[in-house]
Structure 1
Amino acid sequence: MEQLLEMVSNIGIRDIIDMTIVAFVFYKLYMLIRDTRAEQLIKGLLILLVATKLSEWSKLFVVNYILNKTITVGFIALLIVFQPELRKALEHLGRSRLLLTKNIVEIAHEDLDSRIKEISDAVASLSRQKIGALIILERETGISEVIETGNSIEGKISSSLLINIFIPNTPLHDGAVIIRKDKIMAAGCFLPLSENPNLSKKLGTRHRAALGITETSDALAIVVSEETGGISVAMAGKLSRFLDIDTLKTIIKEAFSPEKQNKLMNLKWRHKND
């Protein structure tokens, strides 16, 4: 008890700052891997480390030798297995407010309301007609590699153009539309599907593709269900479903308005079934 009190009494301001920084870093890392396959791998690694220590204390030399060699090789393997998560973490760091680029600032100072109106009008019409749609709004992370998979359009954003792209039985109907700033860059684009094992089996390909692109970038994805006409929004690997048009407008505006970024991050993103 005396040793504990002595340790506490010796803690200074620098120690508190040091521990706070470490705790914050671990918290942010946990938030990045939460609900991903990396979370399960981390749990497995912790179990392996505990088993190694127990074998050492129990003097099980052969078991300890095997576990030690496994951990040595395992750390190298982790760099390969966690490649998507490491990329995501670095992209998250690159999108820090300290490194805010002009992309989001430009959109905030231009006529954002008219673009939101064109997009929301198109989504409302598609929803009423139960026409499936997938619209991706690029933000800070460039997704040119996705744009290149589709058909180049580079046209001004308009509700009529968006509606026509998703008319059933047309060549571009099943792909995604990518919007960058004030232009529809491409249509019929292919997106990576989400690898989240916890997703509902009822989610269709469009919803999984919307989650997939938001897991690897900071893009905002809008989905219209072909079965129900329901409107969904995916962002940061989270899906919010059964939205009305007013809520959709609010989410888009907050996503592209720098002064409202904190409010956006506090929105409740939820998983629901059709």
Structure 2
Amino acid sequence: MGQIVTFWAALGRLFQSFQLKDLLDVALVSFIIYNAIKLIRETRAAQLVKGIILVAGVWLIALAFNLYVMTSLLQYLFQFGLLAVVVLFQPELRRALEQIGRSGNLNDAGKKFFGTQRNWKSEERETRKLRGIIAIVDSCEAMSKSKTGALIVFERHTRLGEIINTGTVVNAVPSAPIICNIFFNKAPLHDGAMIIRDGMVYAAGCILPLTKDETVDINLGTRHRAAIGMSENSDAVVVVVSEETGQISIALNGSITRNYTRETLKEKLCSLLLEESVPNKKWNGFFSKRGRKES
């Protein structure tokens, strides 16, 4: 009974000394830990963290039993291990920092605070992006049927100036004939990637970085590996058309999803690229209007 009273007394003293800054401190630490776990969960670093926890557990046991040699060895390991971690996992650390830098959480919070979902972008710009998506969907459907290989990168928050400099600036209004002609296998720019910026065909023949992820399916070719590599190094949405199978795929955040149809490709691109300020009924009406014209 006395222990229970002592516990509640200690708890009461804790709450008496608890201030608003302490709550903020705990909330910030919790937020950082939560997001750190999210960032490393799907990477090689997840296995590293498991290893660090295991080694730390062994070190605590060695410390508890006064195992001098083991304790000293593990202390040296921790001292030099941090530098080794930075060197070995530099790509993962870079990707994590880039994700933090391009996070849209503050942007979303600002939009909610001001009671608007328009985000600073004009409706005209969103309509241009929508028309670009239409052209990409039309061209991907045609290239899928003809088994013409294609690699199309939609620029988002991360600017792709370095990638654009490896190709040729086009800056053309997108249309299915233009896109299909660029990727025609005799065309001079067909081997590289096309960059879509703000709904325009901004550049073509661009060279993308290949993924270094060893767990990627060995059956994927260079075009698909370049798409994954581009999505690892930026927040870009990358569309791939396979010249072997005609299969349409999308690479995003280092992962690739396959077997898109015209409808699923349209829905995915609109959900990823259009602002929330553009109502779904608007672009659905746009597509249905086009369908009536084509029929």
Alignment TM class, shorter chain as reference: 0.7 to 0.9
CA separation in 2, counterparts of 1:5 and 1:148?
66
Q: What do the CA deviations read for 1:188-226 (whole angstroms, capped 9, x no partner)?
A: 222122233332222222222211111111100001112
- 3-state SS of paired residue (1:105): coil
User: Aligned-pair distance for 1:175?
Assistant: 1.8
Select the residue among 121, 140, 146 that pairs with 1:105.
121
| 1:62 is the counterpart of 2:64 | no
Task: Pick closer, same or farther for the CA change 1:145–1:5 going to 2, 3 Å.
Answer: farther
CA RMSD of aligned residues (A): 3.0
User: Aligned-pair distance for 1:117?
Assistant: 1.1
User: Aligned-pair distance for 1:239?
Assistant: 1.8
User: Aligned-pair distance for 1:13?
Assistant: 8.5
Select the residue among 239, 261, 264 that pairs with 1:247.
264
Where does residue 228 of structure 1 map in the other structure?
245
- 3-state SS of paired residue (2:276): helix
User: Aligned-pair distance for 1:7?
Assistant: 6.6
Where does residue 83 of structure 2 map in the other structure?
76
Q: Which runs of 5+ in 1 are unaligned?
A: 264-274
CA separation in 2, counterparts of 1:104 and 1:215?
27
Task: Pick closer, same or farther for the CA change 1:120–1:155 going to 2, 3 Å.
Answer: same
Percent identity among equivalent residues? 38
Does the CA contact (< 8 Å) of 2:130 and 2:199 recur in 1?
Answer: no
Select the residue among 124, 132, 139 that pairs with 2:141.
124
CA separation in 1, counterparts of 2:277 and 2:51?
39
CA separation in 1, counterparts of 2:277 and 2:230?
23
Structure with larger Rg = 2
Where does residue 45 of structure 1 map in the other structure?
52
Task: Pick closer, same or farther for the CA change 1:235–1:177 going to 2, 3 Å.
Answer: same
Does the CA contact (< 8 Å) of 2:131 and 2:199 recur in 1?
Answer: no
User: Aligned-pair distance for 1:8?
Assistant: 6.2
Does the CA contact (< 8 Å) of 2:126 and 2:275 recur in 1?
Answer: no
Task: Pick closer, same or farther for the CA change 1:224–1:6 going to 2, 3 Å.
Answer: farther
| 1:152 is the counterpart of 2:169 | yes
Which letter maps to 2:230? Answer: I
Where does residue 189 of structure 1 map in the other structure?
206
User: Aligned-pair distance for 1:127?
Assistant: 0.5
- 3-state SS of paired residue (1:248): helix
Task: Pick closer, same or farther for the CA change 1:243–1:212 going to 2, 3 Å.
Answer: same
Does the CA contact (< 8 Å) of 2:208 and 2:226 recur in 1?
Answer: yes
CA separation in 2, counterparts of 1:227 and 1:113?
29
CA separation in 2, counterparts of 1:259 and 1:162?
27
Does the CA contact (< 8 Å) of 2:149 and 2:240 recur in 1?
Answer: yes
Task: Pick closer, same or farther for the CA change 1:248–1:13 going to 2, 3 Å.
Answer: farther
CA separation in 1, counterparts of 2:273 and 2:163?
20
Q: Which runs of 5+ in 2 are unaligned?
A: 111-117, 281-295
CA separation in 1, counterparts of 2:203 and 2:157?
18
